[in-house]
Amino acid sequence: MDEMKSVTLGDLADAREQFAGERANVVAKNAVTAQGIRQVARVPEAVAANTGTFDVEVRQGKRCDQKRSGRCWMFASLNTMRTRIIERYNLKTYELSQAYPLFYDKVEKSNWFFENILDTLDEPLDGRLMAHLLADPISDGGQWDMFRALVEKYGVCPKEAMPETACSSNTQEMDRYLTRYLRGAAKRLRESHAAGVGADDLRAMKKEMMGEVTSLLITCLGEPPQSFDVRVRDKDDDLVLTGTYTPQEFFKKVVDMPVADYVSIISAPTADKPFGHTYTVSRLGNVVEAGGVRYLNLPIDRLKSIAIAQLQAGLPVWFGCDVAQSYISKEGIMDTAALDVDGLFGFPVEGCMSRAERLDYGESLMTHAMVLEGVNLDAEGKPTLWKVENSWGDERGKDGFDSITDAWFDQYVYQVVVDKRFLAEDERKTFETEEAHVLAPWDPMGSLAR
């Protein structure tokens, strides 16, 4: 046995002896085995420092709940839109249907998947690209550009016009069966191609498959409304909005948000993504005719200053982050100082890598989208604490909203979506004119859509 390669009994004995020789290790063991890591690592002073009062704040309505689904990006997007309705019509709260874009996203993602399959018919089935395409073809996740494509094509509707169903509230079963169908359809397309079936016939097969996809989705989610009646009363119980609308009309006339002006800014400090340039993720999207995603990569301090400018203008900010890191869910606190995991273990665990290294080594990526709706500023105008509208109902955090310390923002916020009027002139020009650098399909900047 090569003792330099193997874990020897002597190695383990030495480690146990060293562990037992430190009083703090024994106390930590007793506490963690009884209560768990995060409970024991919790720092009460840091938790207490997270206030519920903010200098700049955009008032939203009642908290929404995505339940057991991965629709955070849809909820965050719709929550940035409902702000306009609440303010314009003087409402206490308002909620747009989240089941409506879910239906069309699944339709468009299925079509996007088929187009990718038809484009890769000669790729080896055991290669990394095919493994990636087949791994999760109908994920609940998505990106702002994908949501914009949906509302520009299909509009939006009030929640009562297309309410939640069992399958929208808990998408696991629907996703599982739709994924199975799509993989089976991909198999048929590839085998037909291998047997010599021509391109026109393959596309005819795809059209038939899309009909079956649509049928499955209607079964699970119901049929989306083509038009609907609206009756809305304001805080004073006055009837302020009535009429019959199509979803496209409702988006244009009632929401009235210039979504084409809203752009995605990321901050990825890795060597493959120099700041000041635009990027896209290969084969990531949903609506084929709208294209894929587009990002401008800027330093994290620029993301903050742009977000603050938009909040000060009375507009919330869609953002993407790695939500589970240093997160105390009961109090709704994201704070790198609130959990002292490294102090608990006695060596660097959370602190063993930088922001860039975590992205490079697969330790961190975008996992959740939410809405910035407030910020506290110090005497120099620098942010200290951010208020966040989550989409996990009102029983978590502080009546459904969370807080993010600026130190946590530095480490785990990766994207904001802002009106391009808040960008500097050179940033706006770069976003609009530079040819985007193409990132691999599995790049961490595309993870929110997976």
Q: Where are the alpha helices (DSSP H) in 313-405?
A: 341-345, 355-360
Separation CA 438–CA 354 (nearest Å):
24
Write out pLDDT tens, residues 233-267.
999 999 999 999 999 999 999 999 999 999 999 99
Does residue 341 carry a pLDDT above 80? yes
Q: Say whether pLDDT at 276 is over 90.
A: yes
Q: Classify burial at 374, counting beta carbons within 10 Å of its beta carbon; exposed 0-12, middle 13-18, buried 19 or more.
A: buried
Split at pLDDT 50, 70, 90, the class of 4 is confident
Section 105-130 average pLDDT: 98
> Which domains does the chain show, CATH number per domain?
56-325+364-449 (3.90.70.10)
Name the pTM for this structure: 0.95
CB 178 within 8 A of CB 216: yes
> Tell me, what's the pLDDT at 371?
97
Query: Residue 98 is which amino acid?
Result: Q
Residue 390: active-site member:
yes
Catalytic-labelled residue, pool 79, 111, 286, 390: 390
At 399 the pLDDT is 80
Find tokens 């993504």 and name the residue.
273
- Cα R_g (the chain), whole angstroms: 24
Mean per-residue pLDDT over the chain, rounded: 96
pLDDT digits (tens, 9 = 90+) for 5-63: 899 999 999 999 999 999 999 999 999 999 999 999 999 998 888 888 899 999 888 99
Residue 48's pLDDT is 87
Catalytic residue among 50, 64, 72, 157: 72
Q: Over the stretch 297-325, which tens digit does the pLDDT of each residue have?
A: 999 999 999 999 999 999 999 999 999 99
Q: List, in order, residues 6 or more apart from 407 with CB less than 8 Å away.
A: 335, 336, 337
- The active-site residue, picked from 111, 116, 368, 376, is 368
Q: Which pLDDT band, with edges at 50, 70 and 90, does 2 fall under? A: confident
CB 106 within 8 A of CB 217: yes
Q: Is 352 a catalytic residue?
A: no
Range 421-444 average pLDDT: 98
Question: What torsion, rounded to 10 degrees, do the Cα atoms 64, 224, 291, 389 define?
Answer: 0
Percent of the chain with pLDDT over 90: 93
Strand partners, 413: 321
Q: Which residue has the tokens 């961190």?
A: 364
Active site residue 64: no
Q: What is the pLDDT of residue 398?
A: 80
What are the tens digits of pLDDT across the range 353-389? Answer: 999 999 999 999 999 999 999 999 999 999 999 999 9
Query: Model confidence over 156-166: pLDDT tens digits?
Result: 999 999 999 99
pLDDT of residue 1: 60
* Model confidence at 282: pLDDT above 70: yes
Phi, psi of 126 (to 5 degrees): -95, 10
